[in-house]
Amino acid sequence: MAFSTSSFWGPVTSTTEWCEQNYVYSSYIAEFYNTISNIPSIILALTGLVISLSQRFEKRFSILHISNMILAIGSMLFHATLQRLQQQGDETPMVWEMLLYIYILYSPDWHYKSTMPTFLFLYGALFAIFHSQTRFDVGFKVHYITLCLLCIPRMYKYYIHTQDKPAKRLAKLYIITLSIGLSCWICDRLFCKNVSLWYFNPQGHALWHLFMAFNSYFANQFLMFCRAQQRGWNPRIEHFMGLLPYVKIQKPKAE
């Protein structure tokens, strides 16, 4: 939405704006709430990274948590500036992150170990080059949704093969946060004209960031649990301060 004070970053060059008035609190931050709402993503991703490193999970999970942080930082820069370059810095890591999820979900049963990471790496690199040269707002959304849909069958397979009730609860929390977050995103897009007339803006896109922060965390912990089961590491779900669930493993002494 149009800014109300002077802009440090100049005119908006991104292809997308959200239902938040620009530069209300600072000339350096275009969409204030959409910017700071990425902080929980960074904190939860850092928490997941510490859990992964401290228990010596496979490097793929450390990279996954780092990718969550990179995505959140890219989103902060995009919403703070509303510039085309920063928009690419937000959208390209979104695709890279989904490619990483696809690898983690499908690689355990992939017979040709080197072909999948090689293909996904090349795909991600080619997408980044193409995206840097081309504007395709609707096409990007369709592409991203397609990558997300590719993950669903495998996530469902993991869910039905998991007997541990606390682990299944993680998967359910993943679905709940995704559903609520997506509802906030859709309402922010479809009803912005109505919302902008309200005395109080519920900041639907900022809420999307908040719910997706927990969504990514729950997804990552569920995948870590499933992978630990595959490796015979006797995983269980524990809770930090009785609230935040995380995976605790016990590797055989030989490892």
Q: Which residues are annotated as a binding site?
A: 18, 20, 22, 31, 79, 205, 209
d(CA 108, CA 118): 15
Write out the two tokens for 176.
């709940």
- Residue labelled with tokens 């395709």: 136
d(CA 233, CA 210): 31
Q: Which residues are annotated as a binding site for Ca(2+)?
A: 18, 20, 22, 31
Q: Are residues 27 and 7 in contact, defined by beta-carbon separation less than 8 angstroms?
A: yes
Q: Which residues are annotated as a binding site for Zn(2+)?
A: 79, 205, 209
- Residue labelled with tokens 């991104």: 14
Pairing of strands 236-240, 244-248: antiparallel
d(CA 92, CA 198): 34
d(CA 16, CA 163): 43
β-strand partners of 238 = 246
Residue 178: partners with Cβ closer than 8 Å, 6 or more residues away: 211, 212, 215
Q: Are residues 31 and 80 in contact, defined by beta-carbon separation less than 8 angstroms?
A: yes
d(CA 120, CA 60): 14
